[in-house]
Chain A
């Protein structure tokens, strides 16, 4: 087992085209860290740099205290699970899982023990003789994970491994991944654009935007105290409401999460929304409208027992749920 540390890691393809603008992070031994961001933010590139599939333009990556910048992937003691699984189509499940071990020259018995153990954990024992094309998506996903597990690496790298699965299977595999991590305790880096995956799997997460780490922290901490308007808008569905305001003589963005708004009487109103769209979801109801003269959009999550109608809706909130951001830089203002 080993931790991973990134020190001001940068990547550029040409001098003008820089895609990672200096990311630093310490990942503790055994930690499950999720890299979250929209597509094109450089999250996969960052992971591939840790894997050794992309060169590192500047900065330093070390795994278990050893700088790996110039090591081949096979010498970094990592295993990677790819988005499209990348199983060898002509090999059986057993051969797929054991290929890396055979190259490393392990004995047949040792290979067999490791593969069977991994197959047991992943409930693949029945399928060891099958070819990947005779497996379902979820089973292929498990084979890809099995291939990573048998190598007993220091670090697991996951590149959006659940994005090719249907919604139901994704939830199931998410739970299995969590159980697997509890069981093996291997340091894991997991790339996703899905905030729910990130919130549920991560011990800590790193939210990336345009090649920069916007915020690094535990999921709930990131949710409760977003460091920038980007994070506030990216995490949470619907995203945090951001309303331009004047506060202590300076322009700010006032942020409040939809679930922290509740309807009230006219007298207590802290915000008045002009509701134009109502989405009843069963457990709760989403209300959309606009506030103020500038017509900033606002969303509120209400308990479904509250009957909502288009038109004027007075709202209140608790002061501790309010966030302020600087409108120019988008950074959080701590008062």
Chain B
């Protein structure tokens, strides 16, 4: 709908600007706080112009971490988060694309039953099965390990479902043409299906990377050593008590650092991401 009514334009822009401010202002305050001394933050009102402690705060958190609460350096946390997010994203995509390939292209007994079994796990998010999962992981001795952080989160009904829907839109003739050409099932998967799915894979990668990065409850439970903290957990561990006891400048710097990687992934993969959600190359 194209309308040319100045009042409406002004109103809609006002709403949009308000919305942007509501989202952007806290981010800006976070950034400003991360460049100030602790005393400056505690003063009322807090200054809204970036201070001169940018380098000092960031180099301290990256190299050494906070002095109260958790003392793990943020660089370690970022590394842990990256490993976790990548392992979850890549693991989810790998397993679910192979699972959907089996479900769509092979006829085996109880095929639909297995699909629905996978689908039903959608109803069981991590939080619901967290106690038994914790028990299993701890009995397997995987507390405070990368495997413990990632493996229980890798199975994904959402991704399996998405790939299944995509594979079902690929014309059957393509599989038949490959068969006539002499390609076996795995060859067809590598040469035809995988290249066709690359935009879906990219979109899923972005979603799952952020999902993995933002995990809170699970890493909170199974990491007790500072060397295994992820960035999200690190922030919460830095909050030790009352308002005055926290090093807000360092916490804010950590928060900014923790926000950067997912933002970068989104920005860098935006084109692919949108393509994967809206179009399928067939």
Contact = CB atoms under 8 A, between A and B. Distances in A.
Interface of A: 51-53, 72-74, 78-80, 82-84, 86-90, 99-100, 103-104, 147
Interface in B169-189: 171, 173-174, 176-183, 187
Interface in B185-233: 187, 191-192, 195-196
A88 B179 contact: no
B129 interface: no
A82 B177 contact: yes
B246 to A, nearest CB: 53
Contact of B180 (A73, A83, A88, A90): A73
Contacts of B281: 89-90
A86 B196 contact: no
B148 to A, nearest CB: 38
Majority-rule SS of A interface residues: loop
B5 interface: no
Interface of B: 171, 173-174, 176-183, 187, 191-192, 195-196, 281-282
A147 B195 CA distance: 20
Contacts of A100: 180-182
A76 B196 CA distance: 28
Majority-rule SS of B interface residues: helix
B220 to A, nearest CB: 43
7 contacts: A80-B177, A86-B173, A89-B281, A89-B282, A90-B281, A100-B182, A103-B182
Contacts of A51: 180
A51 B196 CA distance: 25
Contacts of A52: 179-180
A83 B171 CA distance: 11
Contacts of A83: 173
Contacts of B196: 89-90
Given A99-B191, A103-B187, A86 B177 contact: yes
A99 B179 CA distance: 11
Nearest to A133: B281
Nearest to B280: A89
Given A51-B180, A80-B176, A80-B180, 6 more contacts: A86-B171, A89-B281, A89-B282, A90-B196, A99-B181, A100-B181
Contact of A74 (B171, B182, B191, B195): B182
A84 B180 contact: no
A51 B178 CA distance: 13
A82 B182 contact: no
Contacts of A82: 173, 176-177
Nearest to B179: A73
B130 to A, nearest CB: 41
A84 B178 CA distance: 14
Nearest to B181: A100
A87 B180 CA distance: 12
Given A86-B171, A88-B192, A90-B281, A103 B183 contact: yes
B182 A78 contact: no
